[in-house]
Amino acid sequence: MTSTLDRRATLRQTRPATGVTVRPGQGARKLRNTVPPAGVASLQLSTKAAALVLRTARVSGPVFRDDAAAQTGLSISTVNRQVSALLKAGLIRERADLTPPGAVGRPRVPFEINTGEFLTVGIHIGYAVTSITTHDLQHRVVGAINIPTPQAATPDQVVTAIGHSARRFADRWSGKRLLWGGVAMGGRVYGKGVVDHPRLGWTGVRVGELIAQSLGLPVSVASHVEAMAAAELVVNPADSGHNFLYFYAREMAGIAFSVDGTVHTPAAGPPTIGHFPTGGTRLLDPDKTGRLEEAIGDSGVLRAAAAAGLEIDSLEGLRNAARTGNAVAHDILAERAEVLGRTVALISDIFNPDHVVLGGQAFTDYPEALPVVSKALRATSVITNRDVRVARSAITVQQKAAGAAALDAVYADPLEALSHTA
Q: What is the CATH number of the domain that holds 54?
A: 1.10.10.10
Sign for the pseudo-dihedral over CA of 295, 315, 329, 373: positive
Based on the fold, state whether residues 245 and 201 are members of the same structural domain. Answer: no
Closest C-alpha to 133, from 422, 396, 412: 396
DSSP secondary structure letter of residue 163: H
Based on the fold, state whether residues 57 and 176 are members of the same structural domain. Answer: no
Dist. CA 408–CA 227, nearest whole Å:
10
Domain of residue 21: give its range.
3-43+116-231+402-419
Based on the fold, state whether residues 142 and 199 are members of the same structural domain. Answer: yes
What is the reported pLDDT for 26?
37
What is the reported pLDDT for 107?
60
In this structure, are strands 111-113 and 388-390 parallel, antiparallel, or unpaired? Answer: unpaired
Q: Does residue 326 sit in helix, strand or coil? A: coil
What is the reported pLDDT for 122?
97
Q: Considering its fold, how many domains does the chain have in total?
A: 3
Dist. CA 391–CA 266, nearest whole Å:
22
In this structure, are strands 243-249 and 219-223 parallel, antiparallel, or unpaired? Answer: unpaired
Contact 121, 170 (CB under 8 A): yes
What is the reported pLDDT for 394?
64
Q: Is residue 226 part of a domain?
A: yes
Q: Is residue 220 part of a domain?
A: yes
What is the reported pLDDT for 102?
61
DSSP secondary structure letter of residue 384: T
What is the reported pLDDT for 1?
43
Based on the fold, state whether residues 297 and 413 are members of the same structural domain. Answer: no
Q: Is residue 396 part of a domain?
A: no
What is the reported pLDDT for 395?
66
Pick out the chain residues at pLDDT < 50: 1-33
The residue type of 69 is A
Dist. CA 42–CA 95, nearest whole Å:
33
Q: Is residue 295 part of a domain?
A: yes
Dist. CA 135–CA 115, nearest whole Å:
9
Based on the fold, state whether residues 245 and 382 are members of the same structural domain. Answer: yes
DSSP secondary structure letter of residue 201: T
Based on the fold, state whether residues 168 and 132 are members of the same structural domain. Answer: yes
Based on the fold, state whether residues 133 and 23 are members of the same structural domain. Answer: yes
Contact 229, 246 (CB under 8 A): yes
Based on the fold, state whether residues 106 and 120 are members of the same structural domain. Answer: no
The number of angstroms, rounded, from the C-alpha of 309 to the middle of its chain's C-alpha atoms is 37
Domain boundary among 98, 113, 128: 113
Contact 76, 66 (CB under 8 A): yes
What is the reported pLDDT for 73?
95
Contact 322, 330 (CB under 8 A): yes
How many degrees, rounded to 5, is the angle at CA 106 between CA 103 and CA 110? 85
pTM: 0.85
Based on the fold, state whether residues 64 and 26 are members of the same structural domain. Answer: no
Report cis status (omega within 30 of 0) of the bond before 353. Answer: no
Based on the fold, state whether residues 123 and 271 are members of the same structural domain. Answer: no
